[in-house]
């Protein structure tokens, strides 16, 4: 993502009144008072201006993001679209669409929550997020994995880029099935790889919604098109459209995610083309994602209600069971009879008439159960990259190694190498109402191939066992959250001659000397519109989207 600097403007300074009396007192003292007042005011203005420059140069600097490689975490120049009758709005990349430059002003789009095709009129490009960057933060504390950092682009050092920091100095980095595996470079080729897990505060920001039931259309046939959501209801259950809720009867109910109609993939609505049906279909396919969060607000109608959340992925079943005042996390390979207990906790029973927020996370080879925003139990499983690929593809490890060694394009770009996940939610022991029933997916870093340049046709850096990233003592590996539309450490295939001579000649890495700082706050998101007569001005601050960057 190209970063352009927003220059700070002086706010002015308050004048400082200086009281003075001339040698003779009286009227003869008035002129020096005026001179001292003017002098004091000028000094205050100069001092304020100097402090602003010092603050901007050494403490905090403002930037604006023009492109979308970090979307939807951080937005570049974009178009805001609106759903039909559900209050949902989302953003679409305007960088290559021609919107706002005398080009497209209306287009058919796919609404992410309902998958309905909608005609959007009056499209206008909006500027990207304006952010604050803490400069020289890394002179005090070392960079941490998952920080969002700003740096000089090694290919074009006159440009500032923003990405997420993934690999640290003296590490080897391998992107496998959407996740990041690392090991220390000095440990040798036989050292075990370990998965890089995200802290909960970062992971929570990187859950991106596939569907949430409160955003279902109010009408049964919006725009004259019959609509059915992704959850299929079995047993004694039904969808209550007026309440936008699922109601389970006394016999319980099961909600199953319809993966055939609503595949859980890394499709990012921000990347949707604004023209061309074929392009839309290709963009919507995406790679299958297995790191998922299933969630619901559970309101029991009486005592004894239990809930089970299920995610089946990579040939294994994962379950979170809440019943009898206890929570269990379970895991087993498909086809096995026994379960492996991954976590257990006392949580209390569902209180009748009270909404309880339940979340089941499957991310970075971990299982986590959250109740009312608090993690109550968790467990991890430790697979290496080859074992992970074997489970994801349903092949033996030796078969995966064999196809990985074939020449040609990067086999790990193939969508069908992995299998789609299956998700379900079951209610037992009595009647209950489920609201805000949703499925979210984790950020998914994709494999890629160099398209041009001296490395054309080779697997991108860190996306293939024959081309893992080996970082030196002052080198970092960075990726964009919008992995399918980001040129980052994976795809940099050259280094600017000056950078190569004076800093580091290694392609695909960011040297410590190119780091500018840590992005920490979005202080001015794209503003809302204000209509004045026939003209529309984008001037109203969007206070709701001001936020700290995780």
Longest dimension (CA), the chain: 105
Q: How many domains does the chain have?
A: 3
Write down the pTM of the prediction: 0.87
Same domain, 154 and 31: no
For the chain, what percent of residues have pLDDT higher than 90? 60
Same domain, 189 and 167: yes
Q: What is the pLDDT of residue 28?
A: 47
Same domain, 348 and 391: yes
Does a structural domain hold residue 545?
A: no
Token couple for 173: 């980095």
Same domain, 178 and 257: no
Q: Which residues contact 490 (CB under 8 A, 6 or more apart)?
A: 175, 448, 460, 461, 462, 463, 479, 508
Token couple for 259: 């993966």
pLDDT at residue 190 is higher than 90: no
Q: What is the pLDDT of residue 498?
A: 97
Same domain, 151 and 253: no
Q: What is the pLDDT of residue 217?
A: 86
Lowest-pLDDT choice from 309-323, 370-384, 393-407, 469-483: 393-407
Does a structural domain hold residue 66?
A: no
Selection from 473, 516, 469, 505 nearest residue 489 by Cα: 469
Same domain, 275 and 368: yes
Cross-strand bridge partners of residue 194? 182
- Residue 136 sits in which domain range? 130-205+447-522
pLDDT at residue 11 is higher than 50: no
Does a structural domain hold residue 411?
A: yes
Does a structural domain hold residue 466?
A: yes
* 321-344 per-position pLDDT tens digit: 999 999 999 999 999 999 999 999
The whole-angstrom separation of Cα 515 and Cα 492 is 17
pLDDT at residue 21 is higher than 70: no
Q: Tell me if the bond preceding 366 is cis, omega within 30° of 0.
A: no
Q: What is the pLDDT of residue 9?
A: 37
Q: What is the pLDDT of residue 13?
A: 38
pLDDT at residue 98 is higher than 90: no
For the chain, what percent of residues have pLDDT higher than 70? 87
Same domain, 361 and 473: no
How far CA 36 is from CA of 39, 45, 485, in Å, comes to 5, 14, 59
Same domain, 503 and 386: no
Q: Which residues contact 281 (CB under 8 A, 6 or more apart)?
A: none
Which of 58, 76, 94 terminates a domain? The answer is 58
The whole-angstrom separation of Cα 305 and Cα 322 is 9
The per-residue pLDDT of the chain, averaged, comes to 87
For residue 356, the domain's CATH number is: 2.60.120.560
Q: What is the pLDDT of residue 87?
A: 86
Does a structural domain hold residue 10?
A: yes
* 416-440 per-position pLDDT tens digit: 888 899 999 999 999 999 999 999 9
Same domain, 26 and 136: no
Q: What is the pLDDT of residue 106?
A: 80
Same domain, 309 and 216: yes
Q: Which residues contact 89 (CB under 8 A, 6 or more apart)?
A: 80, 81, 82, 83
Q: Which long-range contacts (CB under 8 A, 24 or more apart) does 196-202 make?
A: 196/145, 196/166, 196/364, 197/363, 197/364, 197/365, 197/366, 197/380, 198/146, 198/363, 198/364, 199/146, 200/368, 200/375, 201/550, 202/146, 202/550
Does a structural domain hold residue 502?
A: yes
Same domain, 312 and 423: yes
Same domain, 275 and 423: yes
């Amino acid at each position: 993502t190209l970063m352009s600097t927003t220059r700070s403007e002086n706010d002015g300074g308050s004048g400082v009144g200086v009281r003075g009396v001339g040698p003779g007192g009286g009227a003869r003292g008035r002129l020096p008072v005026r001179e001292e007042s003017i002098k004091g005011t000028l000094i205050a203005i100069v001092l304020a201006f100097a402090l602003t420059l010092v603050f901007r140069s050494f403490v905090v600097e403002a930037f604006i993001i023009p492109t979308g490689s970090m979307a939807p975490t951080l937005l570049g120049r974009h178009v805001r679209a609106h759903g039909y009758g559900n209050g949902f709005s989302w953003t679409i990349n305007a960088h290559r669409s021609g919107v706002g430059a005398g080009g497209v002003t209306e287009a058919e789009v796919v609404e992410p929550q309902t998958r309905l095709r909608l005609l959007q009129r009056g499209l206008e490009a909006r500027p990207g997020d304006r952010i604050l960057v803490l400069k020289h933060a890394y002179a005090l504390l070392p960079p941490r994995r998952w920080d969002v950092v700003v740096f000089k682009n090694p290919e074009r050092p006159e440009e500032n880029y923003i990405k997420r920091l993934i690999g640290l100095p003296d590490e080897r980095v391998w992107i496998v099935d959407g996740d990041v595996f690392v090991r220390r470079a000095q440990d040798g080729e036989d050292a075990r790889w370990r998965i890089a897990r995200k802290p909960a505060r970062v992971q929570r920001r990187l859950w991106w919604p596939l569907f949430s039931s409160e955003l279902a259309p109010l009408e049964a046939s919006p725009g004259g098109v019959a609509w059915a959501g992704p959850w299929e209801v079995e047993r004694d259950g039904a969808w209550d459209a007026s309440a936008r809720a699922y109601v389970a009867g006394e016999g319980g109910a099961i909600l199953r995610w319809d993966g055939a109609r609503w595949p859980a993939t890394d499709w990012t609505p921000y990347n949707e083309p604004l023209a061309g049906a074929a392009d839309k279909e290709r963009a919507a396919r995406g790679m299958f994602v297995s790191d998922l969060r299933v969630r619901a607000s559970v309101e029991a109608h009486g005592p004894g209600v239990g809930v089970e959340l299920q995610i089946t992925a990579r040939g294994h079943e994962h379950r979170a069971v809440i019943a009898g005042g206890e929570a269990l996390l379970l895991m087993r390979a498909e086809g096995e009879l026994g379960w492996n207990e991954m976590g257990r906790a006392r949580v209390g029973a569902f209180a009748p008439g009270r909404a309880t927020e339940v979340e089941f996370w499957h991310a970075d080879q971990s299982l986590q159960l959250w109740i009312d925003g608090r993690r109550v139990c968790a467990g991890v499983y430790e697979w290496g990259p080859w074992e992970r690929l074997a489970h994801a593809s349903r092949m033996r490890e030796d078969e995966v190694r064999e196809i990985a060694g074939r020449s040609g394009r990067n086999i790990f770009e193939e969508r069908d190498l992995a299998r789609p996940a299956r998700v379900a939610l079951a209610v037992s022991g009595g009647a209950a109402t489920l609201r805000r029933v949703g499925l979210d997916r984790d950020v998914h870093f994709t494999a890629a191939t160099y398209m041009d340049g001296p490395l054309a046709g080779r697997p991108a850096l860190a996306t293939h066992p024959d081309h893992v990233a080996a970082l030196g003592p002052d080198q970092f590996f960075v990726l964009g959250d919008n992995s399918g539309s980001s040129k980052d450490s994976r795809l940099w295939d050259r280094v600017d001659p000056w950078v190569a001579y004076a800093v580091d000649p290694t392609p695909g890495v960011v040297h410590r000397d190119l780091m500018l700082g840590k992005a920490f706050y979005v202080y001015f998101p794209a503003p809302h519109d204000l209509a004045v007569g026939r003209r529309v001005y984008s001037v109203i601050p969007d206070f709701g989207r001001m936020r700290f960057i995780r």
